[in-house]
């Protein structure tokens, strides 16, 4: 828990620094100060509202025991096993099989799954997936992942602003080359921050999910199926907001082109192999 607070604080500081650097190149000292203020305000906003923003991006609809009794009951049973408060439960009307958790802490958490994953997987496999997401909640990964998704999107928008207006040299003259460099490097920096955060935590959430569900092979089977099917089905909200891809149980983006360089998930084969080994112990 303490480690995640440190990582979250470092992430927020790095993002504010990026905002300041972009502001300085766009508008000199005044631009830097304005960007720093904007970055600080965005951090506060992201802490309180980033989960709601992400759920809105995916047009997630909240469900309860009346509207989705089996799914809701499964999450409740797993939350009890994990000794967690009951999270809010959402469904996303998308064909690609995927799921994520969000929120600022276990008392304000939400789990979301696509309708595609409910159609593809068996009840046992869905249970493994939701246990994985609840492990993220228990490990308090959800705050840093949700903030990083929101802030990376803001950085990309600010970088596009920099490219449009061009940078400033030391004498305040327009420097379009600097603006182009900022527009390229800022999203790269944001992607590297997310990549550093995401890879190790997926292994830990797999292990934690296997512990919560008591069935490591169920999650291994689910990951194998999701990986095979997700490759051929677009997830429109993820394509529109690629900074949110790191929140998903499986990378929802195609591996081609520049997106493939910034995969935020370990290889599915390695995750499955670790889970199979865990099941044998």
Q: Which residues are catalytic?
A: 133
Check: CB of residue 137 under 8 Å from CB of residue 78.
Answer: no
Spatial distance between the Cα atoms of 143 and 237, rounded to a whole number of angstroms:
20
Cα separations in angstroms, 216 against 64, 127, 222 = 27, 11, 10
Q: In what order do the strands lie in the sheet with 61-63?
A: 61-63, 88-92, 109-114, 99-103
How far is the first Cα of the chain from the last one, in angstroms, to the nearest whole number? 27
Check: CB of residue 59 under 8 Å from CB of residue 93.
Answer: yes
State the alpha helices, DSSP H only, in 58-68. Answer: none
Q: Is 136 annotated as a binding residue?
A: yes
Check: CB of residue 117 under 8 Å from CB of residue 99.
Answer: yes
122 Ramachandran zone, left/alpha/beta (phi>0; psi -120 to 50): beta
CA 74 to chain centre: 23
Q: Is 202 annotated as a binding residue?
A: yes
The annotation places the binding site for Zn(2+) at 132, 136, 202
The annotation places the binding site at 132, 136, 202
């Amino acid at each position: 828990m303490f480690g995640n607070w440190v990582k979250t604080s470092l992430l927020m500081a790095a993002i504010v620094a990026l905002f300041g650097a972009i502001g300085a190149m766009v508008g000199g000292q005044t631009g830097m100060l304005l960007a720093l203020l904007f970055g600080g305000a965005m951090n506060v906003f992201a802490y309180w509202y980033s989960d709601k923003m992400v759920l809105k991006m995916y047009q997630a609809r909240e469900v309860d025991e009346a509207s989705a009794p089996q799914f809701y009951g499964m999450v409740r049973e797993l939350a009890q096993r994990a000794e967690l408060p009951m999270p809010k439960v959402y469904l996303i009307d998308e064909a690609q099989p995927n799921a994520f958790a969000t929120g600022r802490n276990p008392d304000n958490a939400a789990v979301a799954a696509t309708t595609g994953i409910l159609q593809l997987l068996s009840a046992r496999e869905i249970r493994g997936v939701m246990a994985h997401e609840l492990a993220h909640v228990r490990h308090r990964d959800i705050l840093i992942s949700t903030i990083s998704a929101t802030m990376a999107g803001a950085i990309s928008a600010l970088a596009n602003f920099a490219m449009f207006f061009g940078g400033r040299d030391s004498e305040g003259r327009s420097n379009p080359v600097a603006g182009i460099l900022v527009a390229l490097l800022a999203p790269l920096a944001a992607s590297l921050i997310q990549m550093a955060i995401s890879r190790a935590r997926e292994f830990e959430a797999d292990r934690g999910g296997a512990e919560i569900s008591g069935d490591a092979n169920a999650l291994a089977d689910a990951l194998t199926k999701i990986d095979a099917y997700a490759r051929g089905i677009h997830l429109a909200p993820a394509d529109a907001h690629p900074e949110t891809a790191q929140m998903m149980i499986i990378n929802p983006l195609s591996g081609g082109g520049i997106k493939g360089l910034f995969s935020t998930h370990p290889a599915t084969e390695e995750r499955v192999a670790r889970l199979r080994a865990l099941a044998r112990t």
